[in-house]
Amino acid sequence: MKVRHKVLIVDDELHIRRLIHAALVRNDYAIVEAENAREAVEQLRAERPDIVLLDLGLPDRDGLELVPLFKQQSDTTLIVVSARDAIDQKVAALDLGADDYLTKPFDTDELLARVRVALRNRLTRDGGTLTLTVDDVTIDLVARAVTKAGRDVHLTPKEYAVLAQLARHPGRVITHNQIMAEVWPHEHEHHVEYLRVLVRTLRQKLETEPQQPRIICNELGIGYRLRQSGDAQAEPSTQPG
């Protein structure tokens, strides 16, 4: 019997819930809805959804406050779907634990793609897969080895630390702050330019065309994500920062 993945839609706008609901039902997802924070918390506990689509502008509580609460109380994957398009809002949500961030207005095909990526990430995490291949690059997190077209790639410890952090969450954006806190944990002051230089070097070693990166994708002003094989590249910026 086919398992239907359950999605909790949290949004106070009825027409948005109906739009998302219709798109998900057509693709055989089970749907739960909430129109405010109180209902969302109740549904999270009662229904244990695989994925939560969370609007931030809720009438009874700021959605940002729900992000760490949801991540503490469940293992659900949380995708923020919000009209807030400021970089600082996106960074705040991701730093608090959101797995992805989609800005309104959105295309339902893109929303469905984000949901599919999120589900693959859950299966990868739950199944314990520790080897990832993107194009001709293979990352083995157990052996701490990286190959390109079958040949070993030499990485410095910091280069490997960045790549491994991205590989542990393929398809998910990891913010500059999250990466720097892991790679430079004892630095009192983190400088994003250090990270940009390191990523440029990584791309020189891994990408076939470093100026048009297909493996390590830039989320402009936010962070980076490692593309999953089979996914169309989503590169918001033409600058490989």
User: Which has the minimum average pLDDT: 50-59, 126-135, 140-149?
Assistant: 126-135
Q: What is the pLDDT of residue 171?
A: 85
171-181 mean pLDDT = 89
Say which residue the tokens 């291949």 belong to. 133
CB of 153 closer than 8 Å to CB of 205: yes
Could you tell me the CA-to-CA distances from 30 to 12, 21, 80 in Å, in that order?
A: 19, 9, 19
Residue 77, Cβ density class (10 Å: 0-12 exposed, 13-18 middle, ≥19 buried): buried
Mean per-residue pLDDT of the chain:
87
The answer for residues whose C-beta is within 8 angstroms of residue 151's C-beta and 6 or more apart is none
Who wins on pLDDT, 181 or 123? 181
* Contacts of 220 by beta carbon, 8 Å cutoff, 6+ apart: 236, 237, 239, 241
Residue 150, C-beta contacts closer than 8 angstroms, at least 6 positions apart: none
Given pLDDT bands bounded at 50, 70 and 90, which one contains residue 204?
very high
- Once rounded to an integer, what is the mean pLDDT over residues 78-85? 95
What residue ranges do the domains of the chain occupy?
A: 6-126, 130-226
Confidence of residue 41 (pLDDT cuts 50, 70, 90): very high
- In this structure, what DSSP letter does residue 57 have? B
* Confidence band for 240, pLDDT divided at 50, 70 and 90: very low
Got the DSSP string for 117-179? Answer: HHHHHHHHHHHT--EEEETTEEEETTTTEEEETTEE----HHHHHHHHHHHTSTTS-EEHHHH
pTM over 0.85: no
Class of domain 6-126: alpha beta
CB 228 within 8 A of CB 171: yes
Q: How many CA atoms are closer than 13 Å to the CA of 121, on its beta-carbon side?
A: 28
Whether 139 contacts 166, CB under 8 Å: no
Lay out the sheet containing 174-175: strands in order across: 174-175, 223-226, 216-219
Token couple for 231: 């996914």
pLDDT at res. 234: 44
- For residue 196, the model assigns a pLDDT of 93
Residue type, 7: V
Distances in Å between the Cα of 98 and the Cα atoms of 42, 65, 88, 129 are 19, 11, 14, 22
pLDDT band at 238; cut points 50, 70, 90:
very low
Percent share of the chain, pLDDT over 70? 87
Q: How far is CA 37 from the centre of its chain?
A: 22
3-class DSSP state of 30: strand
Q: State which fold the 130-226 domain adopts.
A: Arc Repressor Mutant, subunit A (1.10.10)
pLDDT in tens, 221-234: 899 999 876 554 44
